[in-house]
Protein backbone atom coordinates (compact mmCIF):
# COMPACT_ATOMS: atom_id res chain seq x y z
CA UNK A 1 0.00 0.00 0.00
CA UNK A 2 1.37 3.40 -1.00
CA UNK A 3 1.25 6.20 1.57
CA UNK A 4 1.69 9.88 0.65
CA UNK A 5 5.06 11.28 1.65
CA UNK A 6 3.60 13.89 4.00
CA UNK A 7 1.67 11.18 5.86
CA UNK A 8 4.81 9.04 6.20
CA UNK A 9 6.67 12.06 7.60
CA UNK A 10 3.89 12.57 10.18
CA UNK A 11 4.11 8.89 11.18
CA UNK A 12 7.88 9.01 11.52
CA UNK A 13 7.71 12.24 13.46
CA UNK A 14 5.63 10.54 16.17
CA UNK A 15 7.85 7.46 16.38
CA UNK A 16 10.30 6.92 19.23
CA UNK A 17 14.03 6.55 18.67
CA UNK A 18 13.78 2.77 19.04
CA UNK A 19 10.90 2.61 16.55
CA UNK A 20 12.80 4.76 14.05
CA UNK A 21 15.68 2.32 14.14
CA UNK A 22 13.30 -0.52 13.17
CA UNK A 23 11.38 1.53 10.59
CA UNK A 24 14.59 2.19 8.64
CA UNK A 25 14.25 -1.39 7.37
CA UNK A 26 10.71 -0.99 5.96
CA UNK A 27 11.88 0.34 2.60
CA UNK A 28 14.55 2.46 0.96
CA UNK A 29 12.00 5.27 0.74
CA UNK A 30 11.30 5.24 4.48
CA UNK A 31 15.01 5.04 5.27
CA UNK A 32 15.62 8.08 3.05
CA UNK A 33 12.78 9.99 4.73
CA UNK A 34 14.16 9.26 8.19
CA UNK A 35 17.42 10.82 7.07
CA UNK A 36 15.57 13.68 5.35
CA UNK A 37 16.50 17.13 6.59
CA UNK A 38 12.86 18.16 6.98
CA UNK A 39 12.17 15.30 9.39
CA UNK A 40 15.39 15.89 11.31
CA UNK A 41 14.55 19.57 11.71
CA UNK A 42 10.98 18.79 12.72
CA UNK A 43 12.10 16.37 15.43
CA UNK A 44 15.08 18.38 16.62
CA UNK A 45 13.25 21.45 17.87
CA UNK A 46 12.60 19.91 21.31
CA UNK A 47 15.50 17.52 21.69
CA UNK A 48 17.73 17.90 24.71
CA UNK A 49 19.84 15.14 26.20
CA UNK A 50 20.03 14.68 29.96
CA UNK A 51 22.35 12.35 31.85
CA UNK A 52 20.55 11.07 34.96
CA UNK A 53 21.80 8.19 37.12
CA UNK A 54 24.29 7.19 34.38
CA UNK A 55 21.44 6.86 31.84
CA UNK A 56 20.78 8.96 28.73
CA UNK A 57 17.36 10.54 28.23
CA UNK A 58 15.91 12.53 25.33
CA UNK A 59 13.79 15.29 26.87
CA UNK A 60 12.00 18.55 26.21
CA UNK A 61 10.95 21.47 28.37
CA UNK A 62 8.60 24.43 27.93
CA UNK A 63 10.73 27.59 27.97
CA UNK A 64 7.80 29.87 28.82
CA UNK A 65 5.51 28.00 31.23
CA UNK A 66 5.91 29.46 34.74
CA UNK A 67 3.62 27.30 36.89
CA UNK A 68 3.90 23.51 37.17
CA UNK A 69 6.61 23.37 34.53
CA UNK A 70 8.02 19.87 34.19
CA UNK A 71 10.58 18.10 32.06
CA UNK A 72 9.01 15.83 29.45
CA UNK A 73 10.87 12.58 28.87
CA UNK A 74 10.54 11.73 25.17
CA UNK A 75 12.72 8.64 25.13
CA UNK A 76 15.41 6.76 26.99
CA UNK A 77 18.44 5.74 24.97
CA UNK A 78 19.60 2.32 26.10
CA UNK A 79 23.17 1.20 25.42
CA UNK A 80 23.69 -2.51 26.02
CA UNK A 81 27.00 -3.81 27.34
CA UNK A 82 28.53 -6.12 24.69
CA UNK A 83 30.49 -7.92 27.42
CA UNK A 84 27.35 -8.78 29.39
CA UNK A 85 25.52 -12.04 28.66
CA UNK A 86 22.37 -10.63 30.25
CA UNK A 87 22.44 -7.48 28.04
CA UNK A 88 23.00 -5.24 31.03
CA UNK A 89 22.96 -1.51 30.33
CA UNK A 90 26.22 0.41 30.25
CA UNK A 91 26.57 3.17 32.87
CA UNK A 92 27.46 6.43 31.10
CA UNK A 93 29.73 8.81 32.99
CA UNK A 94 30.18 11.60 30.43
CA UNK A 95 29.00 12.62 26.94
CA UNK A 96 30.35 14.75 24.11
CA UNK A 97 28.04 15.51 21.17
CA UNK A 98 29.30 15.80 17.60
CA UNK A 99 26.99 15.76 14.54
CA UNK A 100 24.40 13.50 16.16
CA UNK A 101 27.07 11.13 17.47
CA UNK A 102 27.77 10.73 21.19
CA UNK A 103 31.27 10.07 22.46
CA UNK A 104 30.60 8.36 25.78
CA UNK A 105 32.92 7.59 28.65
CA UNK A 106 31.56 4.76 30.78
CA UNK A 107 31.74 4.43 34.54
CA UNK A 108 34.18 1.54 34.18
CA UNK A 109 36.49 3.66 31.96
CA UNK A 110 35.61 2.45 28.47
CA UNK A 111 35.06 4.60 25.39
CA UNK A 112 32.30 4.25 22.80
CA UNK A 113 31.00 6.28 19.87
CA UNK A 114 27.23 5.89 19.75
CA UNK A 115 24.43 6.96 17.43
CA UNK A 116 21.34 6.51 19.63
CA UNK A 117 18.90 6.75 16.72
CA UNK A 118 20.46 4.15 14.45
CA UNK A 119 21.74 2.11 17.44
CA UNK A 120 25.14 1.91 15.82
CA UNK A 121 28.10 1.75 18.20
CA UNK A 122 31.84 1.62 17.89
CA UNK A 123 33.84 0.68 20.96
CA UNK A 124 37.25 2.34 20.94
CA UNK A 125 39.94 0.14 22.43
CA UNK A 126 42.91 1.75 24.21
CA UNK A 127 46.49 0.87 23.45
CA UNK A 128 46.91 -0.08 27.11
CA UNK A 129 44.16 1.38 29.29
CA UNK A 130 42.19 4.58 29.89
CA UNK A 131 42.65 6.53 33.12
CA UNK A 132 40.34 8.56 35.33
CA UNK A 133 42.12 11.85 34.51
CA UNK A 134 41.86 11.34 30.73
CA UNK A 135 39.95 13.90 28.65
CA UNK A 136 38.42 12.97 25.29
CA UNK A 137 37.13 14.97 22.33
CA UNK A 138 35.38 13.90 19.13
CA UNK A 139 35.73 16.01 16.00
CA UNK A 140 36.21 15.84 12.26
CA UNK A 141 38.53 17.18 9.59
CA UNK A 142 37.67 19.44 6.68
CA UNK A 143 37.30 16.21 4.66
CA UNK A 144 34.64 14.93 7.09
CA UNK A 145 36.88 12.27 8.60
CA UNK A 146 36.16 11.66 12.29
CA UNK A 147 38.92 11.53 14.88
CA UNK A 148 39.16 11.26 18.67
CA UNK A 149 41.59 13.28 20.76
CA UNK A 150 42.76 11.75 24.03
CA UNK A 151 44.57 14.00 26.51
CA UNK A 152 46.22 11.89 29.15
CA UNK A 153 46.92 13.57 32.47
CA UNK A 154 48.90 12.38 35.45
CA UNK A 155 49.27 13.53 39.03
CA UNK A 156 46.69 14.09 41.75
CA UNK A 157 43.00 14.68 41.07
CA UNK A 158 43.18 18.23 42.45
CA UNK A 159 46.39 19.13 40.61
CA UNK A 160 46.84 17.09 37.43
CA UNK A 161 49.35 17.88 34.74
CA UNK A 162 49.12 17.03 31.06
CA UNK A 163 51.85 14.71 29.91
CA UNK A 164 50.87 13.45 26.47
CA UNK A 165 48.06 13.20 23.95
CA UNK A 166 47.12 10.91 21.09
CA UNK A 167 44.73 10.73 18.14
CA UNK A 168 42.41 7.91 17.17
CA UNK A 169 41.88 7.78 13.41
CA UNK A 170 38.69 6.05 12.25
CA UNK A 171 40.28 5.36 8.87
CA UNK A 172 43.04 3.20 10.33
CA UNK A 173 41.19 2.24 13.54
CA UNK A 174 44.30 2.95 15.57
CA UNK A 175 45.88 5.43 17.97
CA UNK A 176 49.00 7.48 17.26
CA UNK A 177 50.94 9.94 19.39
CA UNK A 178 50.91 13.73 19.05
CA UNK A 179 54.37 15.16 19.57
CA UNK A 180 53.35 18.78 20.26
CA UNK A 181 54.49 20.02 23.69
CA UNK A 182 52.06 21.73 26.07
CA UNK A 183 52.40 24.03 29.07
CA UNK A 184 48.85 23.70 30.41
CA UNK A 185 46.52 21.22 32.08
CA UNK A 186 42.78 20.63 32.51
CA UNK A 187 41.58 20.63 36.13
CA UNK A 188 38.83 18.07 36.83
CA UNK A 189 36.30 20.86 37.46
CA UNK A 190 36.90 22.22 33.92
CA UNK A 191 36.35 19.06 31.92
CA UNK A 192 33.48 20.24 29.69
CA UNK A 193 34.67 19.97 26.08
CA UNK A 194 32.58 21.49 23.26
CA UNK A 195 32.49 20.66 19.56
CA UNK A 196 31.93 23.48 17.05
CA UNK A 197 32.43 23.22 13.27
CA UNK A 198 35.08 20.53 13.28
CA UNK A 199 37.07 21.86 16.24
CA UNK A 200 36.80 21.30 19.98
CA UNK A 201 37.12 23.86 22.78
CA UNK A 202 37.67 23.69 26.52
CA UNK A 203 38.92 25.71 29.49
CA UNK A 204 42.48 25.06 30.62
CA UNK A 205 44.97 26.34 33.20
CA UNK A 206 48.55 27.37 32.48
CA UNK A 207 51.15 25.36 34.40
CA UNK A 208 53.14 28.50 35.19
CA UNK A 209 50.60 30.74 36.95
CA UNK A 210 47.33 28.73 36.89
CA UNK A 211 45.57 31.39 34.76
CA UNK A 212 42.38 30.11 33.10
CA UNK A 213 42.19 30.47 29.32
CA UNK A 214 40.29 29.06 26.33
CA UNK A 215 42.02 26.26 24.44
CA UNK A 216 41.11 24.59 21.15
CA UNK A 217 42.13 21.69 18.94
CA UNK A 218 41.89 21.66 15.14
CA UNK A 219 41.29 18.12 13.86
CA UNK A 220 42.42 19.02 10.33
CA UNK A 221 45.84 20.38 11.30
CA UNK A 222 46.01 18.39 14.57
CA UNK A 223 47.25 21.48 16.39
CA UNK A 224 46.38 22.99 19.77
CA UNK A 225 45.71 26.72 19.84
CA UNK A 226 44.55 29.21 22.47
CA UNK A 227 41.50 31.36 21.65
CA UNK A 228 41.04 34.99 22.68
CA UNK A 229 38.46 35.75 25.38
CA UNK A 230 35.85 38.55 25.25
CA UNK A 231 36.57 42.03 26.63
CA UNK A 232 38.78 42.47 29.69
CA UNK A 233 39.09 38.91 30.93
CA UNK A 234 40.49 40.18 34.25
CA UNK A 235 37.11 41.76 35.05
CA UNK A 236 35.18 38.49 35.28
CA UNK A 237 35.40 34.92 36.52
CA UNK A 238 35.12 32.21 33.86
CA UNK A 239 32.78 29.36 34.72
CA UNK A 240 31.82 27.16 31.80
CA UNK A 241 31.29 26.60 28.05
CA UNK A 242 28.33 25.55 25.95
CA UNK A 243 27.12 25.64 22.32
CA UNK A 244 24.02 27.32 20.85
CA UNK A 245 21.52 25.00 19.30
CA UNK A 246 20.63 26.27 15.84
CA UNK A 247 23.85 27.83 14.56
CA UNK A 248 26.29 25.82 16.71
CA UNK A 249 28.25 28.75 18.13
CA UNK A 250 30.51 28.61 21.16
CA UNK A 251 29.15 30.17 24.39
CA UNK A 252 30.98 31.31 27.51
CA UNK A 253 29.43 31.75 30.98
CA UNK A 254 31.13 34.35 33.20
CA UNK A 255 30.39 36.28 36.39
CA UNK A 256 31.32 39.94 36.64
CA UNK A 257 33.63 41.00 39.47
CA UNK A 258 31.86 43.90 41.23
CA UNK A 259 32.90 45.07 44.68
CA UNK A 260 29.96 47.38 45.41
CA UNK A 261 27.28 46.02 43.09
CA UNK A 262 25.05 42.97 42.91
CA UNK A 263 26.84 40.29 40.83
CA UNK A 264 25.76 39.50 37.28
CA UNK A 265 26.25 36.42 35.17
CA UNK A 266 26.94 37.03 31.49
CA UNK A 267 26.57 34.78 28.47
CA UNK A 268 28.95 35.52 25.59
CA UNK A 269 28.59 34.05 22.08
CA UNK A 270 31.53 33.74 19.70
CA UNK A 271 30.34 35.07 16.34
CA UNK A 272 33.60 34.17 14.61
CA UNK A 273 36.76 32.24 15.53
CA UNK A 274 39.76 32.61 13.22
CA UNK A 275 42.13 29.74 12.52
CA UNK A 276 44.92 31.58 14.38
CA UNK A 277 42.78 31.87 17.54
CA UNK A 278 41.40 35.43 17.36
CA UNK A 279 37.70 35.41 18.27
CA UNK A 280 34.87 37.95 17.99
CA UNK A 281 32.35 37.86 20.85
CA UNK A 282 29.00 39.47 21.62
CA UNK A 283 27.39 39.69 25.06
CA UNK A 284 24.17 37.77 24.51
CA UNK A 285 22.62 37.91 27.97
CA UNK A 286 23.22 39.55 31.38
CA UNK A 287 21.32 38.31 34.42
CA UNK A 288 21.45 39.77 37.94
CA UNK A 289 21.86 36.95 40.45
CA UNK A 290 19.51 38.81 42.78
CA UNK A 291 16.68 38.36 40.24
CA UNK A 292 16.98 34.56 40.21
CA UNK A 293 14.82 32.34 42.40
CA UNK A 294 16.91 31.17 45.33
CA UNK A 295 18.63 28.97 46.21
CA UNK A 296 20.78 29.12 43.08
CA UNK A 297 24.49 28.50 42.57
CA UNK A 298 26.84 29.44 39.73
CA UNK A 299 29.73 27.00 39.65
CA UNK A 300 32.68 25.98 37.51
CA UNK A 301 31.82 23.58 34.67
CA UNK A 302 28.17 24.44 35.14
CA UNK A 303 26.13 22.50 32.59
CA UNK A 304 23.95 24.93 30.63
CA UNK A 305 22.24 25.44 27.27
CA UNK A 306 21.63 28.67 25.37
CA UNK A 307 18.52 29.33 23.29
CA UNK A 308 19.10 32.52 21.22
CA UNK A 309 15.59 32.47 19.74
CA UNK A 310 13.95 32.70 23.17
CA UNK A 311 16.91 34.57 24.71
CA UNK A 312 17.14 32.26 27.70
CA UNK A 313 19.69 30.17 29.54
CA UNK A 314 18.75 26.65 30.67
CA UNK A 315 20.86 25.19 33.47
CA UNK A 316 20.54 22.22 35.76
CA UNK A 317 19.92 22.39 39.49
CA UNK A 318 22.91 21.77 41.75
CA UNK A 319 22.82 18.89 44.21
CA UNK A 320 22.87 20.07 47.81
CA UNK A 321 21.99 23.65 46.81
CA UNK A 322 18.67 23.45 44.98
CA UNK A 323 15.88 20.93 44.55
CA UNK A 324 15.03 22.43 41.15
CA UNK A 325 15.65 20.03 38.32
CA UNK A 326 16.23 22.85 35.83
CA UNK A 327 16.34 26.64 35.89
CA UNK A 328 15.27 28.73 32.88
CA UNK A 329 16.81 32.19 33.14
CA UNK A 330 16.46 35.38 31.10
CA UNK A 331 16.80 39.11 31.63
CA UNK A 332 13.27 39.25 33.05
CA UNK A 333 12.64 35.57 33.55
CA UNK A 334 13.41 32.99 36.24
CA UNK A 335 11.49 29.72 35.87
CA UNK A 336 11.94 26.67 38.06
CA UNK A 337 11.37 23.30 36.40
CA UNK A 338 10.39 20.13 38.25
CA UNK A 339 11.95 16.74 37.61
CA UNK A 340 8.98 14.88 36.11
CA UNK A 341 9.58 11.31 37.39
CA UNK A 342 13.38 11.43 37.69
CA UNK A 343 14.62 10.20 41.06
CA UNK A 344 17.78 12.29 41.11
CA UNK A 345 19.17 15.49 39.67
CA UNK A 346 20.45 15.85 36.13
CA UNK A 347 24.23 15.61 35.89
CA UNK A 348 24.61 16.89 32.34
CA UNK A 349 22.66 18.83 29.68
CA UNK A 350 23.56 18.44 26.01
CA UNK A 351 22.00 20.17 22.99
CA UNK A 352 21.25 17.35 20.61
CA UNK A 353 20.43 17.33 16.90
CA UNK A 354 19.96 13.71 15.79
CA UNK A 355 21.80 12.06 12.93
CA UNK A 356 19.58 9.65 11.01
List the domain boundaries for the chain.
Answer: 1-44, 45-351
Confidence bin at 25 (pLDDT 50/70/90):
low
Strand duo 333-337 + 199-206: pairing? unpaired
Return mean pLDDT, the chain: 81
Condensed to tens digits (0 to 9), the pLDDT of residues 291-329 reads 665 555 565 666 788 888 777 778 776 544 445 567 777
Of 22-26, 75-79, 105-109, 327-331, where does mean pLDDT reach its minimum? Answer: 22-26
Highest mean pLDDT range out of 2-6, 28-32, 226-230, 334-338?
A: 226-230
218 by Cβ neighbours in 10 Å (0-12 / 13-18 / 19+) ranks as middle
pLDDT of residue 322: 46
Measured in degrees and rounded to the nearest 5, phi and psi for residue 66 equal: -90, -50
Condensed to tens digits (0 to 9), the pLDDT of residues 34-86 reads 666 455 544 444 468 888 889 998 888 777 766 666 777 878 888 888 888 77
Q: How many CB atoms lie within 10 A of CB 353?
A: 16
pLDDT of residue 47: 65
Of 140-144, 187-191, 340-344, where does mean pLDDT reach its minimum? Answer: 340-344
Do residues 192 and 137 touch, judged by C-beta distance below 8 A? no
Average pLDDT over residues 222-248: 88
Rounded percentage of the chain residues whose pLDDT exceeds 70: 76
Highest mean pLDDT range out of 19-23, 204-208, 246-250?
A: 204-208
CATH class of 45-351: mainly beta
**Does the structure show a pLDDT above 90 at 251?**
yes
Return the sign of the alpha-carbon dihedral for residues 240, 246, 248, 251: negative
Do residues 226 and 277 touch, judged by C-beta distance below 8 A? yes
Provide the whole-model pTM: 0.82
Amino acid sequence: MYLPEELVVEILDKASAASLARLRCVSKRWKALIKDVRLAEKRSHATMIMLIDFKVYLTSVNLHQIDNNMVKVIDQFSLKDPRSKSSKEVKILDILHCDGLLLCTTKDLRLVVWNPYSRETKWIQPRISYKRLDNFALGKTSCNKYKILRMEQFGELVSPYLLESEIYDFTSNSWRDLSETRDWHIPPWMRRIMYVNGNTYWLACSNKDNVVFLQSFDFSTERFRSVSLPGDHHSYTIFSLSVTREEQKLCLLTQQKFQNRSPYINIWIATKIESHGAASWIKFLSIALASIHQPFCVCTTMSFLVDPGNKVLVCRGKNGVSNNFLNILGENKSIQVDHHDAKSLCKLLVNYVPSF
